[in-house]
Amino acid sequence: MATSASGSGSASPSPTHLSRRLQQLSQSSTPTTALFYARLYHSFFPPRQEEHESLHTLALCFLQSGEPYSALHLVRDSAGVDEPDDAGRYRPFAHGLTGSGGKSAPCYGCAMIVARCCEKLGRFSEGQAVLSRALKRCTPTNLTIPSPASTSASAHLLLASLSHKGKAPEAAVDNYVRALQDDPWLWEAFTGLCDIGAAPSLESIFPDPPALSRASSARTSRPPTLSPNPMPRSSASEVPGLLPSRKTTAYGNGNGGGGGGFFTPDVGVGAGLKLGMMGNASSWDTPSAMGDTTFQTTHEQSSHPTSRRPLPNLLSTFMPSASHLLPASLRSSNASTPTNDLRPPKPPAMKRPRGKDGAKKTAEAPAAQLNGLNLPLARELRPNGHDRDLKSGPVRRSSRLKGSSTKPAPPKVTRPRNARSRSVTSSASGATVDISSSPSLDSQLQTSADDWLRDVVRKCARAYRYLGLYQCQEAMRELDGLPYEVKTSAWSLDILARSFYEMANYVVARRAFASLLELEPYRLQSMEQYSTLLWHISDPPALSHLSQSLMSVNRESPQPWIAAGNCFSLQKDHDEAMRCFRRATQLDPGCAYAWTLCGYEAMEMEEYERAIAFYRTAIRNDSRHYNAWYGMGLVYMKTGKTRYAEHHFRRAVDINPTNAVLLCCVGMVLEQSDDIVQAIHFYERAVAYAPNSPMVQFKRIRVLVALQRFDEAIALLEPLSREAPDEANIFFLLGKCYLRRDRRGEATVAFTTARELQPKLEGPIKATLEANGEEEEEEED
């Protein structure tokens, strides 16, 4: 363990001390923070036959976070849920029993957790049976229940949450910062800063503690905290960009209501950053919430819902060279053999063995957006064969495993048999335990383990921060720098899936979401994005199954109702979709995504005033939810209020400046306002972020034609016509450019091709020929 495990050059930590710290953070932190560290604990120290400490910790953190099905999924096998009630074959050993043939008996701790889950789920008889069986077979052992410590950090965290929900963003930021000062390991405070739009700078993310404090930690005595070492104290004003002004919080103009600026365009007012996107132009000229079928290639047209071909297996497309980096459950030696079931299993039954029933779903070839993405993660996920086009379809709702010459050495642990009985070191005092005869040596080992863990947490924080800034490629690069155990964990797969989702690479994002559900089949977090992804690629069976599975997990969460609403929306049943989305808002009135989806359904029903009301509610709940700003822009564009549309599109771009669809929307309204110079500026930016999208390229070329830069337009249109040979508008515009350059023979060929592809263009083509190319083209919606 002499090599670096996280890419920073630090030596690998002492397994005992790393395990101790992770266990302490998992058992004494707030629920969200505890779950984050419990996942790390379980990744670095997977359970063994005779030792289930990390398994118990993660399951109990799931239970503490209100996810009993996820907890039950983890421990049901080792709890002996499906074993016959026959203890004669077992003898006591460690946490359970072992038969003469080496067969392990149920773990008492796991059985206790199953019983707690059954109590939470109201399955009392099943819980009674499991626990009674465990008491007969096993000797009861101590099971440490996570208990969040009541500290000043937790108080400031609660105050920050209340301030955020109470539309007091400045107070929320200040309290998040104070919480991090009091407890430098408080993950939830860091993510809260990112979510509220006040992400710390890269240099101030989980910095190393002062050397003096680290050196004297073994000699000084101070009250214990949740953190092993103090961090430099700093106020929000000392961290650049940490404390936004009222003008940039987008909660309104300091009134706390969030309604300011909706009808008074002020392009200079910025907004924060948030995740998620829904909505896109239904055609290249008229934005709509429905799918964009313009300029589809032959391959893409074959995937239309009316003629959809079976989708190839997603996981079978992992690159063979990267297959050794995947979890064993995700590997496949035969690319044609399905390796996973995209449908989440049903909630676990207590009386029968589990099994994965599943329709082996295939998937379309992913967008060629990854062609220029030179990341190990991207190379691993890129299927065989590449699309020509970035699938720039609707944005309506809304690497890993980097190879290196020096392979990271994660902490491979052989823990003491009696690890449970060992005391936990005070995070501040560096108290010793009975594993070392030298207190100073133990303190040094603990400090080294803390430094190593801090480096891992810092990389995780950078990935989360980059995703919040929509710098998705940078987020994936940070995932590449993580130890193998972390980069293949559910947490990393969630960041990966959302990154590809934000990049509009829906097919590869779907593979990542499917892998995520393999690890956590009863997950609710991020499933609203997954359901929207299935809406984008028009897969009603998978979407229907997902919504039913989520409903069976928890009907009182908004995610199942969002998935159900997406399912009805895909079937054009907008009334029923609206009812589902409204149910989601009733369950969680602060769910901005559900309010935004209500707005899109209202817009589909041409209830524009109602749609604006929904969007405004979404923005009041989350001013950085750029989907809602985009939706309001669409409403104003449809109603002919170009100036208001431009304002709201610009607000969306301020939040997500790397989204090509948003940039194109700003370009479109500027083009309609005859501001061609500014329009081409935004189209150029869009092309930079989506260079393989024919839709984005066409919009830029059309402006070049308006500026009479025909030679440049021809140079770009000719290769584009080969990339999208079935799009009539390309050939029509190319023919017009040829005509203006007196290349009538080539113009005739281009016009003929356009007319064959779209017979309705015969009239515009004739008018253009009569005007010698000066007639405005009439494009079909």
Q: Give me the mean pLDDT over the 686-704 stretch.
A: 88
The identity of residue 6, as a single letter, is: S
Q: Quote the pLDDT of residue 774.
A: 67
Q: What percent of the chain has pLDDT over 70?
A: 65
Instruction: Measure the CA–CA gap between 384 and 538, rounded to whole angstroms.
Output: 22
Q: What angle do CA 490, 165, 531 make, to 5 degrees?
A: 40
Q: Quote the pLDDT of residue 724.
A: 87
Rounded (to 5) percent helix, strand, coil in the chain: 55, 0, 45
Instruction: Measure the CA–CA gap between 14 and 403, rounded to whole angstroms.
Output: 25
Q: Which of 186-200, 234-248, 477-491, 606-620 has the lowest mean pLDDT?
A: 234-248
Q: Give me the mean pLDDT over the 660-689 stretch.
A: 90
Element (H, E) at 91: strand 90-93
Residue 761 has pLDDT above 90, yes or no: no
Residue range 597-622, pLDDT digits in tens: 999 999 999 999 999 999 999 999 99
Region at 387 (left for phi over 0; alpha for psi -120 to 50; beta for the rest): beta
Q: Quote the pLDDT of residue 179.
A: 93
Asked if residue 265 lies in contact with residue 698, where contact means CB atoms within 8 angstroms, the answer is: no
Q: Quote the pLDDT of residue 137.
A: 82
Q: Quote the pLDDT of residue 253.
A: 35
**Does 46 map to a domain?**
yes
Residue range 438-467, pLDDT digits in tens: 568 888 899 999 999 999 999 999 999 999
CATH number of the CATH domain containing 71: 1.25.40.10
User: Which token pair is 168?
Assistant: 């007091």
Residue 289 has pLDDT above 90, yes or no: no
For the chain, the average pLDDT equals 73
**Does 769 map to a domain?**
no
**Does 120 map to a domain?**
yes
Considering its fold, how many domains does the chain have in total? 1
Characterize the bridge pairing of strands 96-99 and 287-288. unpaired
Residue 759 has pLDDT above 80, yes or no: yes
Instruction: Measure the CA–CA gap between 112 and 137, rounded to whole angstroms.
Output: 13
Greater pLDDT, 288 or 776:
776
Q: Which of 281-290, 331-340, 530-539 has the highest mean pLDDT?
A: 530-539
**Does 580 map to a domain?**
no
**Does 205 map to a domain?**
no
**Does 672 map to a domain?**
no
The identity of residue 508, as a single letter, is: V
Q: Give me the mean pLDDT over the 288-306 stretch.
A: 37
Residue 284 has pLDDT above 90, yes or no: no
**Does 612 map to a domain?**
no
Q: Which domain holds residue 26?
A: 15-83+104-150
This prediction has a pTM of 0.70
**Does 777 map to a domain?**
no
